[in-house]
A and B are shown apart, each in its own frame.
Chain A
Amino acid sequence: MAEKTDLYKGLKLLGSQKEQQLNEKLKSLLNNRSLLESVSDNAQLQVPRINRMQEASERMSIIMNYPTKKDVASVAKLVIQLEGKIDRLEEMLSSLEKNKHVKIEGSSSRGKKKSRGSSTEKEGNKKRILDFIHDSLLLSAQLPEVNGQRNTNV
């Protein structure tokens, strides 16, 4: 049994040593400037071809009535925009709530006095929320643009 254990241990040690040697060799072989440059050149050659194929696919999608990856991305971006707006609303509500608590604490300590400043602050908050909702509605009416062109397939 001990012999067998030693066999596995030996195999592990030998394997690790050989792995390290092979890795060093491979890395030194691959660490070649011209190799990366030729990979980059080849990739650059492919770019216009892939772009043409993607454009063809976009054109086909109008006739075939299927959504492309860009259409799906546009919808996803809309959702992300909405998420951002909800986030901002949540933050506003939270700060309003916080202010309310502070005010309640303040008013209870000062009695029932109501300052003109606090009502101005309330009006200001109200206006900010209304402006925000107005801006959000305006923004929601606009679809995101893809590569400068409005996407009509969404």
Chain B
Amino acid sequence: MSKRKTPGNKPGMKPKWKHFLDIPNQPMPEMGLTPKIQVWKKNKSTLWHYPSAQKKYAVPVFLIYSLINTPLILDLSPGNSLIESFVNEGFDVYLLDFGSPGFEDGEISIDDYIVDYVQNGVKRALRHSGASEITVMGFCLGGTISAIYAAIADEPIKNLILSVTPIDFSSSQFFDQWQEALKEGTADFDDTIDIYQTIPASAVKYGIRLITSPVYLSPYLSLLNQADDEKYVQNWRRFNAWTNGHVPLSGAAAKQITKDLLIENRLVKGKFKVRGKKAKLSRIDANVLVVASKYDRLVPQEMIYPIMEQLTCKDKTYKVLESGHASKQYSGSLPSYLKEWLPERSSPIQ
């Protein structure tokens, strides 16, 4: 057990820097504690079911996280977990965890993820829950996948929630010269990807770090500043573990993201195809909530907002939060933007 003083106690005698140096010796706090049941497994992917404490809504929530990171951020700790908030609020939750692809998964493309994993996962969730409709919620690249899926889905998607989801890749301002070289074909990494079959987790991590913050010092200074606050330290460590816990990206998916989304921006142009079927965003007929973050450096609003112009559904809402890409705090109940929007669209059980 930690010897650190809790914030409520008498101020500790030990200086903060000593607490700070002691942190690596402390056991890692547990993560992902909300009770769950495995419903379905396909290759490395797992469909988890988080049963609601007391079911209040007939429409379950199906969560799709990004391909390059683990969904642990959705269930960091009791009291700071989006999944726990849904469950406490009376929603049945299903989470599709794509797992960590290996060498043998190098040929899994975005099309495969959408049809074989997401579509089949949604069918399983519908069958398991006995529900006649479902809410699909996607995060970051998982949101892009959710939007594409919703555009081709035959399943009854009642609500679609897209959280910090890149849609218009032409609006990306990062490394514009690199983008030009990729677009014009003077830089090409396809053959290299073919050798390794996946983009290794470390390459994904440092690639994201390069776009956002190549020098990564301020989180450690924040930790030093509050090193004597046990709760803060534990939350910091959990978040830091997630930040460093990238997963490899399958080669075919990486190539498709680069070509179809980054270079040709097909999704916004209505030319993205999933196994020959056009995925037009205007075909989405679910109620849609699009969420952006004001201080998001990875997916700025310019990459998100264009979906609002593409959607033709009657019920569409755009919400901007005062937060960064992933730095959201949950307090045991649903955040207000979800509480105001989702329950009334989820068939409350009388």
CA–CA, A22 to B41, complex, Å?
Answer: 45
Contact size class for A?
35 or more
A36 and B210 CA atoms in complex are apart in Å by 13
Q: In the complex, what distance in Å separates the CA atom of A147 from the CA atom of B217?
A: 45
Q: B322 contacts the other chain (Cβ, under 8 Å)?
A: no
Rounded to whole angstroms, the CA-CA distance of A72 and B102 in the bound complex is 11
Interchain CB contact (< 8 A) of B192 among A27, A31, A43, A84: A43
Q: How far is the CA of A73 from the CA of B42 in the complex (A)?
A: 16
Cβ–Cβ < 8 Å partners of B15 in chain A? 4
| Consensus secondary structure, chain B interface | helix
Contact indicator B186/A37 (Cβ below 8 Å): yes
Contact in complex: A83, B42 (CB < 8 Å): yes
Within 8 A of A (CB), among B3-62: 11, 15-16, 41-43
A56 at the interface (CB under 8 A from B): no
Does B329 belong to the interface (CB within 8 Å)? no
CA distance A63 to B127 in the complex (A): 51
Q: A23 → chain B, closest Cβ, in Å? A: 5
A33 in the interface (beta carbon within 8 A): yes
A9 CB-CB contact with B under 8 Å: yes
Q: Which residue of B lies closest to A32 (CB)?
A: B177
Q: Nearest Cβ distance between residue B150 and chain A, in whole angstroms?
A: 22
A50–B195 CB distance below 8 A: yes
Alpha-carbon gap, A76 to B214, bound state (A): 36
B154 within 8 A of A: no
A126 touches B (CB below 8 Å): no
A91 CB, min distance to chain B CBs, angstroms: 8
Per-residue interface assignment for chain A, residues 12 to 54, with 1 indicating a CB less than 8 Å from any chain B CB and 0 otherwise: 1001101100110011001111001101100110110011001
- The answer to whether B187 touches A39 (Cβ under 8 A) is yes
Alpha-carbon distance between A23 and B210 when the two chains are bound, in angstroms: 9
Cβ of B131 within 8 Å of any chain A Cβ, yes or no, is no
Distance (whole angstroms) from the CB of A52 to the closest CB of chain B: 11
Chain A positions within 8 Å of B213 at CB level: 19, 23
Residues of chain B within 8 A (CB-CB) of A36 are 177-178, 181-182, 187
Task: Please pick, from B41, B192, B218, the residue contacting A12 in the complex, using a CB distance under 8 A.
Answer: B218
A-B contact pairs, 28 of them (CB 8 A): A8-B16, A8-B225, A12-B221, A12-B225, A19-B213, A22-B214, A23-B213, A30-B214, A32-B177, A33-B178, A33-B181, A36-B178, A36-B181, A36-B182, A40-B188, A43-B192, A46-B192, A47-B191, A47-B192, A51-B195, A54-B195, A73-B102, A73-B103, A74-B104, A80-B104, A83-B43, A84-B42, A84-B116
Q: Binary interface profile of A, 68-80, with partner B (CB < 8 Å = 1, else 0)? A: 0100111011001
Q: Are A94 and B221 in contact (CB under 8 A)?
A: no
- A76–B104 CB distance below 8 A: yes
Assess the A73–B104 pair: CB atoms within 8 A. yes
Tell me the smallest distance from the CB of B153 to a CB of chain A, in Å.
17
CB distance from B117 to the nearest CB of A (A): 11
Instruction: Verify B104–A44 contact, CB threshold 8 A.
Output: no
Q: A31-B178, A33-B180 are in contact. Are A47 and B195 (CB under 8 A)?
A: yes
Evaluate whether A43 and B189 lie within 8 angstroms (CB atoms) in the complex, with A33-B181, A36-B181 already known.
yes
The answer to whether B175 and A30 touch across the interface, beta carbons within 8 angstroms, is yes
Further 15 A-B residue pairs, CB within 8 A, beyond A12-B221, A76-B102 = A11-B224, A12-B224, A15-B217, A15-B218, A23-B213, A23-B215, A33-B178, A33-B180, A36-B187, A37-B186, A40-B189, A54-B195, A76-B104, A87-B120, A94-B127
